Chain A
Amino acid sequence: MELLEQILFGLMIGGIYGVIGVGLTMIFGVMRLSNFAHGEFYMLGAYFTYTFVTLIGGDPFILAPLAAIAVGAVGIAINKLLFKSLYEELKEAKGAAAFYFQDLKFIMLTIGLSILFVDLALVLWGPIPISIPSPLTKHIIKLPGGLSFSLARLIAFVVAIATLVGLYAFLKFTKTGRAIRATAQNPSAAMLVGVNIYRIYDITMFLSTGLAALAGGILGPIYNVYPTMGLDVVAKAFVVVITGGMGNVIGSILAGFLIGLAESLGGLFLGTEYKQVVAFVIMIIVLWVRPEGILGGGRK
């Protein structure tokens, strides 16, 4: 019974990992940017949701998408204000090559952003962990056989799945989605066929940061919210992304579930202290054995 419960929990958390991972893999796939501040957008999503709940009142699950949009806007602002000029500068220096975002300077920039945001959160909301109140956490669902979990977890899972499905559909079937995929493949070629890659970069930042924020918002009521929660998550996010193949959206989704499951089961069999290690060991194994990720097609 414990086993079944852990499997369920694992899958549920896996869905969330998928949402966080997908944002990170997108920003890498389209912009080749390794966004080390990704965890901080997750964190901001949680805090924004908390702020909205205290200011406006209402259920965090309704307000989380709002927070996600707000954070997405921050993401676009960062792209326009901070990234664009550096991008142009590198373009000047390096000539006609593509993918400037993978330059060391950008990665360091995101690290700078990361610690800035963490401290900002510390200053604005204080170091004490907050929990976002939601009536749904009290609602327990009992399944036959003794399994039980809070309604909040279920809703979080459902929202995660819905988001992933929606994202997939968006990327596959809409015009913008196709433009995004084209830019990921080859920005120069995409430009030639009329895609405005700067706009695509903005959209990608919006989606990526927004998705992370959404995950933060819906997990807020279930776990605690504290300034360094992003740091705890970002390493895991990268594990998901590498396991699934960097830039591979489906890969990240699957890897999310895989890691969630592996963690839960690992915690069951090895003890809760080793739960955390599981994800990273998987990453090291993937790097050794199949660096393109389990589905391949990840950029090396």
Chain B
Amino acid sequence: MLGITKDVVTEISKYYLIALILLIPVPLAGDYITHVTILVMLYAVTAASLDILVGYTGRLSLGHAAFFAVGAYTSTLLAMNWGVSPWIGIFIGGLMASVFGLILGVPSLKLRGPYLAISSLGFGVIVWLMLINLDWLTRGPLGIPGIPPLPRIGPIDFRSKVAFYYVALAFTLISIFLLHLLTKSRIGKILMSIREDEDAALSVGVDVPLFKVYAFLIATFFAGISGGLYAHYLRYISPEISTLGESIYILSMTIIGGFGTLIGPVMGAAVLSLLQELLRSYLEYRYLIYGMLIILVMKFFPSGIYGIVQFILRKVRE
């Protein structure tokens, strides 16, 4: 179905199994490392979801953080105002993010050129402004503290970092696995054809606008869910998570990691988060480095970190 054969599934599963095995013992390294890894994983899914849009369909979105925020706020408000279980709320958050994606996406995607980039920029700003100004709903710039954690399952209390870690791990591996399958499927190939040449895709029967919307819905859904999980983990959110700066941070992960490769953005998330930690004392130079990395990647290594790793692996094999 969808052009995904059993062979493809078994082939990819190998990598995820390995990743699972490698990541299971992480909590042994202590609370701090666990915390950082959780955040890396949530960012990784968000960056990978952005890659579906940017790398595979070739459409630039500069407001992805806004969808992350929509997911976070939706789940939070549902839990705190209407007692909706976060297990369900997070999923609804993802759907809500997709709805927002549809609202923004439909007029912008029918157009060519950088219209999506520009309108996503504007959309992100509008979402941010709404979060700040609709303070009767969102508590404005103060943010919302005291967000309920994921409800316990039996004896497992998800307020503990370790317990949450495994939820995040499962979520991350499953999400990226699904996205990976998508890129190998027929839909993936059609999206790539749109990236390569829209007119040519149209001329061979591809309903380009429709598939762009699909890509958008998928990308925003996963961003929304990541946001929901984030909210119930940190248990505090503020409009800060929806700013242009955040969107660019996520985009940087996708680009520097290597867009169009899905795994690249995951690597990008890990590397940039690592840099963030290492540069704690030099926080002001962060964006200088990100900016330079983006420029370097664009000019010399379009496949980003993923490409570099592949290159090294190939040399090692020889």
Contact = CB atoms under 8 A, between A and B. Distances in A.
Contact of B295 (A82, A120, A274): A82
Contact of A123 (B117, B288, B290, B302): B288
Contact of B125 (A107, A127, A235, A287): A235
Interface in B88-132: 104, 107-108, 110-115, 117-119, 121-123, 125-126, 129-130, 132
Contacts of A284: 104, 107, 119, 122-123, 126
Contacts of A287: 107-108, 111, 115, 119
Contacts of A238: 118, 121-122
Interface in A256-293: 273-274, 276-277, 280-281, 283-284, 287-288, 291
Contacts of B299: 82, 85-86, 109
A115 B122 contact: no
B114 A102 contact: yes
B298 A108 contact: yes
A281 B117 contact: no
Nearest to A239: B122
A123 B285 CA distance: 7
Interface size class of B (residues with CB under 8 A): 35 or more
Interface in A105-161: 105, 107-109, 111-120, 122-123, 127
Interface residues of A, number: 45
Interface in A134-190: none
Majority SS at the chain B contact face = helix
A111 B110 CA distance: 23
Contacts of A300: 111-113
21 contacts: A102-B113, A104-B58, A104-B60, A107-B60, A108-B298, A111-B62, A112-B290, A112-B295, A113-B291, A115-B248, A116-B287, A116-B291, A119-B285, A122-B287, A242-B115, A274-B129, A280-B129, A283-B119, A284-B126, A287-B111, A300-B112
Interface of A: 32, 34, 36, 82, 85-86, 102, 104-105, 107-109, 111-120, 122-123, 127, 231, 234-235, 238-239, 242, 246, 273-274, 276-277, 280-281, 283-284, 287-288, 291, 299-300
Interface of B: 54, 58, 60, 62, 104, 107-108, 110-115, 117-119, 121-123, 125-126, 129-130, 132-133, 244-245, 248, 251-252, 255, 284-288, 290-295, 297-299, 302
Given A111-B255, A119-B285, A273-B129, 7 more contacts: A36-B121, A108-B294, A112-B298, A118-B291, A123-B284, A283-B118, A284-B123
